[in-house]
Structure 1
Amino acid sequence: MTSQSPDDTRGGAMRVRKPIPGEIDFSLMYFAHDAFARDLRRMAAAAATGRGGDPSVRNGWETFKRQLHTHHVAEDESIWPQLREKVTDPQDIAVLDMMEAEHGRIDPLLAQVDAALATGDAAELAAAAGEAAEALIAHMEHEEDFALPLAQTHLGGEGWNRYVKYLQKTQGLSGAAEFLPWALDGAAPATRTDVLGKLPAPVRVLCRLVFEPRYAKTPRWTGVAA
């Protein structure tokens, strides 16, 4: 997997990504985006087959929401504010406004999925899951196409490292204990090797011997294809 073109999207159509020349490697960001898209496809499949009430589907959905919340808060707290301080072009400012507006739109759509899960209405769940998937996938594409190039230009490696340090400080090993096995779920062997190769050796060992076995104890999306 390269920083611009991961070798799998967990069973979905390949997202063609344009290279963003510069010192920031966005591959882990893309990797998280692909994992979000994977779980959205799983929820759509569960809704289509009337399996929204399955405990493993509920567990998978709750994990997805936790990871998305963490992901968006880190962007809201660490990436967009840095860019607000640096960009001056009205078009660039409009991109940041779009990022914030799209973040604000997604949570109510996820709440609609939760409401449909609570009522057990399969048609309502399918509609809500489809609307949430459309909004989030469009947002991730907008972020990759318009916002990440701004980060490459205006933040560089030093500014991006502040975002990485924010995640490390707020999430620590306990956050990595869920993020890593969640994101690696269903990844191709080459992707797995590439992602783990970016981590310190002790974290790789913890992931293999502790994080993934612990994660596997809770069934998520059992029998639901991505």
Structure 2
Amino acid sequence: MINEPLADVRDMYMAHTMFRREIGLAPALVRGVPGGDVKRAATVADHFQVVDNSLHHHHVAEDEHVWPRLAERAGTEAEPVVRVMEEQHAAIGALLDEVRAGLARWRGTADAAQGEALADVVSRLHEHLVEHLAVEEDLALPLIEKHITAAEWGRMIADSAGDVAPERIPLIFGMMAYEADPGTVRDIIAQMPPEISGVIGDLAPQSYAAHARQVYGTATPARIGARGAVA
């Protein structure tokens, strides 16, 4: 029995929506770059690297902080879930390696054939990711709410920021909050350190809107809704 406040996982749903949306929109972004337009290719590649970095550290933090504790505390109930989570993380990690290699080749040339190959890999990544996030939400998050403390969850969230520069935090949070319930966003901000919570509420939406205009040509890119398809 855990006699401490338990994890509030609403921020996980926010992150999952961000990953579904940004990676789901990425193949069209890549295919939309005119052949040879290396400036536009660099803009798209830089955007994807922001999303990639967030997803990578998100998974590393779960692997280090969450799955071992679930296996220890939830026993046989958690074992098959943890196994699937780890297997899916490994498969997604391999696809991310493919995407990074493709981005490195394409961003300097904006070659159309390289771009098409890259978009295909990103599409496969999105398919695997959508499956993984659905399984995590259905099976892992209910266990987390029962077996992971709020303090442990907070450390996982802090580690999931990885090597993100402080000035990038409003952008990342703005990506997460773009489709989230405003009340949930306020609650999540209230749990942040005062030096962050005092400014992120205003900076986050502005930062994502400016970023989206550069990447998508609009401050309001297509929304997907909870577990929905890009529309």
What's the TM-score once normalised by structure 1's chain length?
0.73
User: Residue type of the partner of 2:146?
Assistant: T
CA-atom RMSD in angstroms: 3.3
Counterpart position of 2:171: 181
Whether 1:105 aligns to 2:91 is yes
User: Residue type of the partner of 1:48?
Assistant: R
SS of the residue aligned with 2:66?
A: helix
User: Residue type of the partner of 1:149?
Assistant: P
Counterpart position of 1:139: 132
Counterpart position of 1:84: 71
Distance 1:170 1:25 in 2: 16
Cα drift, residue 176 of structure 1:
6.2
| Structure 1 stretch displaced more, 94-103 or 190-199 | 190-199
Cα drift, residue 86 of structure 1:
1.3
Partner of residue 194 from structure 1, selected from 166, 173, 184: 184
Distance 1:176 1:196 in 2: 20
What's the TM-score once normalised by structure 2's chain length?
0.71
Counterpart position of 1:128: 121
Distance 1:193 1:173 in 2: 28
Whether 1:39 aligns to 2:22 is yes
Cα drift, residue 44 of structure 1:
1.8
Go from structure 1 to structure 2 and tell me whether the alpha carbon gap of 1:179 and 1:81 turns closer, same or farther (over 3 Å shift).
farther
Distance 1:104 1:56 in 2: 28
Q: Retained in 2: the 8 A contact 1:24–1:152? A: yes
Distance 2:51 2:24 in 1: 12
How many positions carry a matched residue from both structures? 200
Distance 2:32 2:160 in 1: 38
Q: Retained in 2: the 8 A contact 1:24–1:160? A: yes
Distance 2:147 2:204 in 1: 35
Counterpart position of 1:203: 196
Partner of residue 215 from structure 2, selected from 193, 215, 221: 221
Go from structure 1 to structure 2 and tell me whether the alpha carbon gap of 1:98 and 1:180 turns closer, same or farther (over 3 Å shift).
farther
Unaligned runs of 5+ in 1: 1-21
Whether 1:62 aligns to 2:49 is yes
Q: Retained in 2: the 8 A contact 1:84–1:96? A: yes
Counterpart position of 2:12: 29
Q: Retained in 2: the 8 A contact 1:60–1:220? A: no
TM-superposition CA deviations, 1:163-197 (whole Å, max 9, x none): 21343367599666534422323715x73553134
SS of the residue aligned with 1:152?
A: helix
Whether 1:164 aligns to 2:154 is yes
User: Residue type of the partner of 2:63?
Assistant: D
Distance 2:137 2:24 in 1: 20
Unaligned runs of 5+ in 2: 223-231
Go from structure 1 to structure 2 and tell me whether the alpha carbon gap of 1:42 and 1:92 turns closer, same or farther (over 3 Å shift).
same
User: Residue type of the partner of 1:94?
Assistant: P
